[in-house]
Amino acid sequence: MDEFVFYDTLRQGLWIAVMMSMPILAAALVVGLTIGLFQALTSIQEQTLTFVPKLASILLVFWASMGFMTETLVAFFDSRIIPLIAGM
């Protein structure tokens, strides 16, 4: 395997990882900021108040975006990884 092919495949794999994690991280960021603002405005400092809504939003977004993640990962493997393994 050529160095260029290795680094290009690594770059594509990292980009796919970023694309797949972005919806979950964005949901956690938005919910975290909203709950943090709510806590700052009301002076409620309860740890579970930030954890439970973030966990629920992450699970909801993960469930909603599972199809996108699966299609993206399968397309990457079909178009890039499997031909490299097969030596094409």
Closest CA to 48 of 35, 33, 62, 34: 35
Is the pLDDT at 88 greater than 70? The verdict is no
Q: pLDDT, tens digit, for every residue of 8-52? A: 999 999 999 999 999 999 999 999 999 999 988 988 888 788 899
Q: What pLDDT shows up at residue 46? A: 82
pTM of this structure:
0.80
Interatomic CA distance for residues 31 and 21, integer angstroms: 16
